[in-house]
Amino acid sequence: MTTNIAAVPADSGAHALFGPVQIRDLQLRNRLVVSPMATYSAVDGHATDWHVQHIGKLAAGGAGLVFVEQSSVNLQGRITHGCLGIWDDAHVPGLARLTQVIRDLGAASAIQIAHSGRKGSSQRPWEGGAALGDADLAARGEGPWEICAPSPIAFDEGWPTPTGMSRGAIDQVVEDYRAAFIRARDAGFDVCELHCAHGYLMHSFLSPLGNQRSDEYGGSRQNRMRVPLRTAAIMREVWPDDLPCFVRISSVDGLGVGWQLEDSIAFARELKAIGIDVVDCSSGGFKLPAENNLVARTPGFQLPFSEAIRKETGIATMGVGLIRTGEFALSALEQGQCDLVAIGRELLWNPNWVSQVAVEMIGAQGWASWPDQYGWWLKRRWFQQGS
């Protein structure tokens, strides 16, 4: 099946941002997406009431597609003890509750499937974000576990050295992903995304900074792409043909080091060939010397990556990175920098951002983005105040 996602014409007007868009047979009510944002609040991998209110709040805010945070393919693949899991059939009912909440609020649902690799066994960010140790076990009963990676290279000073994966371990993880994709399908998600970014396992296979293997999974770029492409192909194989598959990538590791934009373009071509519909373009994830760090983060700083990948390969892309205004999001679409716009922390600050921007940009018609329970009251205040 060919992906059907129409480009936004230049100077198309705000309705292009808020009008429906189709990807395969899935229609989204607009081109704004809630990014997957880890909240590290699961219990033994299970979604809790926290996740229901968090996801419900974001879905009620008007976005077309709502991502549930990255979910781990196995116990070892968690980042923290609080990560959502999808390694057990028992996780499916909790995730199905989230898809139902999203659907009831008029949005489509998505999930990001991940393995932490050498960045696993860590504290939650607000607990320090460092590798787990004896102090964490004493304080919270959350001790460290053994981690794995393509090569035995520690994430940073003070972090444990991961076990270099054998061929058998690689095969097992790939099968863990297969089972996770099937569980995601059973939970009712509309979109599945494979996480190949931010220094986690799949990104570590791609980048020469994390992959120093000498077998068929290391060395050349084609070899380093082998495991992520194999896993992405399984996702496409088990996911319903009428529904989309995304892959999130780190478009570059940094300035002049490791995985670079030309590598991402080559990877995106391969992803397109196996039927992936959208490449979600982020960046970074490895600890780098200061001179190799990306430029200071400014609004839309990653859009040049999504634009280049889109133009060079013809695959649809999702842009992300400090996009804070509707005008900026619309401009990115009209300039051909991306096909979808993902919003993250701005929605934590204001969960109704999408609906608010709809009213600001298209006037009275924008109230259709609001749930009646809110919009009925707020619309009247808006008219009373002369908009």
Catalytic annotation present for 40? no
Rg of the chain's alpha carbons, rounded to an integer? 20
Q: Cα(306)–Cα(327) distance, rounded to whole angstroms?
A: 18
SS3 237: helix
Residue 232 makes CB contacts below 8 A (sequence gap 6+) with 194, 196, 245, 247, 271, 274, 276
SS3 74: coil
- DSSP alpha helix (H) spans, the chain: 15-18, 49-60, 92-104, 134-140, 167-186, 201-206, 221-224, 226-238, 261-273, 303-313, 326-334, 345-349, 353-362, 372-384
Strands 21-23 and 26-28: antiparallel
Burial status of residue 84 (CB atoms within 10 A of its CB: 0-12, 13-18, 19 or more): buried
Q: Two tokens at 225?
A: 């792409």
What phi and psi, each to the nearest 5 degrees, are found at residue 31? -95, 10
Q: Two tokens at 257?
A: 């080091």
Q: Which of 40, 177, 200, 217 is catalytic?
A: 200
Identify the bridge partners of residue 343 per DSSP, sorted by sequence position.
34
Q: Cα(81)–Cα(129) distance, rounded to whole angstroms?
A: 12
SS3 29: coil
Q: Cα(206)–Cα(249) distance, rounded to whole angstroms?
A: 10
Identify the bridge partners of residue 278 per DSSP, sorted by sequence position.
246, 316
Identify the bridge partners of residue 196 per DSSP, sorted by sequence position.
249
Q: Cα(176)–Cα(35) distance, rounded to whole angstroms?
A: 24
Which sequence positions are flagged as catalytic? 200
